[in-house]
């Protein structure tokens, strides 16, 4: 019998460190040639599996694979394509199993967030029912930091570091100009239902008067009169006001302030525009000169100031995922268990995918200040450890030297499958 092959795929919005997990997977799999034949990567996530577009990673040198540790984006391509319930989408699941059979793939590792954990869990069940011995392991990733059970989601620490730094630096700019120019700066960050990223902005200031002066969390209903009063108070006391707003902020009736009226491939309401919406409310009420910015893709791709802790965790969950697969631990996911706050210490442990999928972890109430506009010491203690250390990429001619893989596809063995 030929040796079993391993298939790795990336899913959902990429991060500054998802490729570090890919590095951990591929480097570790290459250390077990007696157990793993080929290491394949799907082009563009689960879509690539359905289309039988499998990348043969043998063509990439050890140096190129190691360079994934410091390269942002998704080296093999990702996708927003959700496999629905087995009753509604059984043909897709069966196709994935068919592709795995055709290429003797016995290990499937899916690197993503909540929807990816759900897909991986369901695939483990379908493969078993179809008689294919397939070990399915989730590899955690999401900048939203909303996966259940794990202390932190790989990718979050680097976003948290970027947002905290951006809040600090932009606020120094506004402070410099506030006497005769901009008095209010609004920064919109990602976070649909959970305010972890917005909370990270709170690390920028420790004392009264230091930015951000106001944080708007998805967990706290937006009350316009209270917000406008807080803005006015900050400007009068400190000369300016920095506001950090999560894209998922809702009003007291539960409506998104930035709902665009469309949905993405996962069925989520498309958001965008919380920042300018908030800024306009400030202008209309107080007439202050303002600027707003949307961190958008910048926050999740800023590998040049990534957290070393985050990079290390991202590699280690990739390593652990391969070891779980080789140990036959089906429908599992490596997660992070905190063992110390200062200094931050952790262990990689194992969770059942069924306990992770479809569970969303929001910002704890004791992380949000009593007035709803800032973070508590408990939040600061939790967050500070995750942004520690720098892991700068190598630079050439003043720019980061990121790697591009060959991404050569293997020959197809099945008929075309429209996706």
Reading the chain (419 residues) residue by residue, the pLDDT tens digits are 689 999 999 999 999 999 999 999 999 999 999 999 999 999 999 999 999 999 999 999 999 999 999 999 999 999 999 888 888 889 999 999 999 999 999 999 999 999 999 999 999 999 999 999 999 999 999 999 999 999 999 999 999 999 999 999 999 999 999 999 999 999 999 998 999 999 999 999 999 999 999 999 999 999 999 999 999 999 999 999 999 999 999 999 998 887 644 444 445 554 568 999 999 999 999 999 999 999 999 999 999 999 999 999 999 999 999 999 999 999 999 999 999 999 999 999 999 999 999 899 999 999 999 999 999 999 999 999 999 999 999 999 999 999 999 999 999 999 999 99
Spatial CA neighbour of 139 closest among 153, 126, 128: 153
Q: Do domains 4-142+304-358+392-400 and 156-303 have the same CATH topology?
A: yes
CA 14/CA 16 separation, integer angstroms: 7
pTM of the model: 0.95
Angle at CA of residue 292, ends 290 and 295, nearest 5°: 160
Spatial CA neighbour of 296 closest among 120, 141, 113, 143: 143
Choice among 60, 115, 118, 144 that is catalytic: 144
Q: Which residues are CB-neighbours of 403 under 8 A, at least 6 positions away?
A: 64, 67, 68, 71, 75
Q: Which CATH class is domain 4-142+304-358+392-400?
A: alpha beta
What CATH number should be reported for the domain whose range is 156-303?
3.40.50.460
Helix (H, G, I), strand (E, B) or coil at 105: strand
CA 10/CA 3 separation, integer angstroms: 24
Task: Give the pLDDT of residue 264.
Answer: 47
* Residue 299: both structure tokens together: 């926050």
Domain boundaries, the chain: 4-142+304-358+392-400, 156-303
Contact 104, 5 (CB under 8 A): yes
DSSP state of 362: P
* Residue 358: both structure tokens together: 């479809």
* Residue 373: both structure tokens together: 């506009």
Task: Judge whether 144 counts as a catalytic residue.
Answer: yes
Residue 406 C-alpha from the chain's centroid: 25
Task: Give the pLDDT of residue 311.
Answer: 98
Task: Give the pLDDT of residue 109.
Answer: 98
By CB atoms closer than 10 A (0-12, 13-18, 19+), residue 249 is buried
């Amino acid at each position: 019998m030929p040796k079993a092959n391993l298939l790795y795929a990336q899913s959902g919005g990429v991060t500054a460190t998802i490729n570090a997990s890919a590095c951990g997977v591929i480097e570790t799999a290459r250390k077990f040639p007696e157990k793993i034949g080929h290491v394949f990567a799907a082009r563009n996530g689960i879509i690539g599996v359905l289309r039988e577009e499998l990348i043969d990673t043998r063509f990439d040198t050890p140096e190129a694979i190691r360079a994934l540790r410091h390269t942002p984006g998704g080296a093999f391509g990702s996708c927003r394509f959700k496999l629905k319930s087995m009753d509604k989408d059984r043909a897709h699941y069966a196709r994935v199993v068919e592709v795995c059979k055709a290429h003797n793939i016995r290990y499937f590792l899916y690197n993503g967030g909540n929807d990816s954990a759900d897909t991986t869990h369901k695939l483990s069940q379908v493969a078993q029912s179809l008689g294919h011995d397939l070990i399915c392991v989730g590899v955690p990733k999401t900048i939203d930091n909303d996966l259940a059970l794990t202390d932190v989601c790989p990718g979050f620490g680097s976003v948290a570091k970027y947002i905290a730094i951006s809040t600090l630096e932009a606020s120094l700019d506004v402070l410099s100009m506030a006497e005769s120019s901009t008095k209010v700066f609004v920064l919109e960050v990602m976070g649909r239902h959970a305010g972890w990223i917005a909370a990270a902005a709170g690390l920028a200031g420790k004392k009264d008067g230091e930015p951000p002066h106001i944080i708007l969390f998805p967990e706290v209903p937006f009350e316009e009169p209270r917000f406008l009063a807080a803005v006015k108070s900050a400007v009068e006391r400190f000369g300016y006001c920095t506001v950090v707003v999560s894209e998922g902020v809702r009003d007291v009736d539960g409506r998104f302030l930035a709902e665009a009226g469309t949905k993405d491939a996962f069925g989520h309401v498309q958001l965008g525009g919380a920042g300018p919406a908030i800024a306009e409310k400030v202008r209309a009420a107080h007439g202050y000169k303002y600027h707003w910015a949307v961190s958008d893709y910048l926050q999740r791709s800023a590998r040049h100031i990534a957290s070393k802790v985050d990079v290390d965790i991202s590699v280690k969950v990739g390593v652990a995922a391969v070891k779980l697969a080789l140990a036959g631990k089906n429908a599992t996911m490596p997660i992070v268990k905190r063992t110390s706050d200062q200094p931050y210490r952790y262990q990689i442990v194992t969770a059942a995918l069924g306990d992770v999928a479809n569970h969303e972890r929001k910002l704890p109430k004791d992380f949000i200040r009593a007035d709803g506009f800032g973070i508590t010491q408990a939040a600061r203690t939790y967050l500070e450890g995750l942004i520690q250390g720098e892991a700068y990429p190598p630079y050439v001619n003043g720019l980061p030297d990121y790697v591009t893989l060959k991404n050569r596809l293997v020959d197809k063995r099945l008929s075309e499958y429209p996706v």
